[in-house]
Structure 1
């Protein structure tokens, strides 16, 4: 039995801009995903994926008799959605096999089990942690695996592999990762609030590529803000930076900031994280005020900063 684990991700700054070389502040999440590999029936991979509750989320049987064309085998009563997941999984495995032709042996069989530490709608990286775990299993570069099969900046892969806050930047299509000390003295006033919906990051990226302002000025502005976020010594300074950052990104993607759209009467600062429109937001305020405000508004999932990230 071989076991692998990867961390989830929280992007604090440079959402969207990180795709074009903006310097981003990213935090590995304490929540992640594990993958275990054992022996199975010859010529097949029997794959089971479990939710954080222990409930079965997804299962698939994959034909590996031709490792360059791994194909899902329909399971009785399987839903179309399940079969689409199986095809996506097959695509990842095929790309891994291309990078390492000795990864999957058609004469062998495998039983694979994955387990998430977080609900599937939290947007903490169910895909990136899966890709990173498969890359570890295959012994291949997870960034190449990501970019050969999908899209994205790769910051989530950096989070998956590290247990410390980091800055991430693409330079000449290469990831530049620096592990940093980021432990705000005001962290007890920072909370992650879930918006009760899952945002498809691929759709968000697609929209950004259609609408974005590619001027280098925006990238420089966001990169400078990231440095200032890291250096912020007070909650007020941090809140001011949130407001400026939200304004810059709103202008670039032509969307209304989440505070203005949903929480205009909130007394603290609110920042979207990752693709705008879903998943978690970062909010500032006292514990009592944050909990009372968002619970009344119908957003009960409120996670203190120290409980979410390393």
Structure 2
């Protein structure tokens, strides 16, 4: 019997990094995501195939049930396999029935966005596995990958959300976020995928007292959600970048790459890679294309 599951991708608009310390974050589920298709098989193995958005196979391997139970780790040439085993091992710890009561599985995953975009290849997989096995996706994330969990919340919701960690637990609020100037919002890919794990580790190394910064970021998030003024929205994003620049001890992406741009550019999620959000009165395609950034999506094409 075939079972199919789907999870949304994600973009973190405010409170990157500092969401880990309790800041309130605005996050948007994307129109792109990932499918998980599960079928029964034999020989106490997972026959696993992962497809990119263009139909190409980016991972294919066989994993023994015993490897999952023991959390077997292979050499560094098998990093993807090792990560998958780690996720499935933690899933096994939460609900062992999928191993104990099965003869095997044929599983395929199908991304609807190019893998290198960084819209949540891991988070959509974790949420899909959690749906399949009827376990808590936030717990599975915490026990395997780690992170704030906002990406899991996006995977599970079809509307914009406010996300906050309170007493070490995720709090998700569905909100209405429909700026009347979305025609002037674009998302531009920076031509490299940024590792969330390494970015979070770097944040913790540089982290100082963040309580005052959390208050400022929360106020900015509140303003961004409420305002109907494009100018006020853009200025709030600029202020957000400045606050995070101080915490991370890094220049903003606009200062580093796009200092001559007539508009506002904000990093989303891990600084230095993935997508940025652009506020521009004019279509910025020509500007970014000339600089070698050719993946430019209007708001309506990206956000669910």
Question: In the TM superposition, what whole-angstrom CA distance separates every residue of 1:11-65 from its partner, at most 9, and x where no partner exists?
Answer: 0000011000000000001100000000122210100000000001101111114
1:112-139: per-residue Cα shift (whole Å, max 9, x none)?
0000011111110000001101111111
Worse-matched range after superposition: 191-200 or 36-45: 36-45
> Is residue 42–residue 107 contact of structure 1 (8 Å, CA) maintained in 2?
no
Superposition TM-score, scaled by structure 2 size = 0.96
- In structure 1, the gaps of 5 or more residues are none
SS of the residue 2:98 aligns to: coil
1:17 aligned residue? 18
2:235 to 232, 240, 259: 240
Preserved CA contact (<8 Å) 1:10 1:274: yes
Provide the C-alpha distance between the structure 2 equivalents of 1:295 and 1:270, rounded to a whole number of angstroms.
15
Match of residue 267 from structure 2: 272
Q: In the TM superposition, what are the counterparts of 1:198-209 in structure 2 within 5 Å?
A: 198-209=193-204
2:66, 2:149 → 1: CA distance? 31
Take 2:66 and 2:45, find their aligned partners in 1: how far apart are those partners?
Answer: 7
Unpaired stretches in structure 2, ≥5 consecutive residues? none
Query: 1:33, 1:116 within 8 Å by CA — same for their partners in 2?
Result: yes
Task: State how far apart, in whole Å, the 1-side matches of 2:247 and 2:259 are.
Answer: 21
> Which aligned pairs between 1:64-75 and structure 2 lie closer than 5 A?
64-65=65-66, 68-69=69-70, 71=72
1:29-108 paired onto structure 2 within 5 Å: 29-65=30-66, 68-69=69-70, 71=72, 80-81=76-77, 83-105=78-100, 107-108=102-103
Structure 1 Cα separation of the partners of residues 301 and 68 of structure 2: 41
List 4+ stretches of structure 1 deviating above 4 A: none
After superposition, the C-alpha distances for 1:286-305 in whole angstroms (9 at most, x for unaligned) are 353x0111011110100000
Instruction: Report the alpha carbon displacement of residue 106 of structure 1 after superposing the two structures with TM.
Output: 6.2
Partner of 2:117: 122
CA distance in 2, matches of 1:43, 1:215: 49
Query: How far apart are the structure 2 equivalents of 1:309 and 1:247?
Result: 25
Contact persistence 1:63–1:71 (CA under 8 A) = no
1:234, CA displacement in angstroms?
1.3
1:69 & 1:58 partners in 2: Cα distance?
A: 22
Match of 2:163 in 1: 168
Aligned length: 303
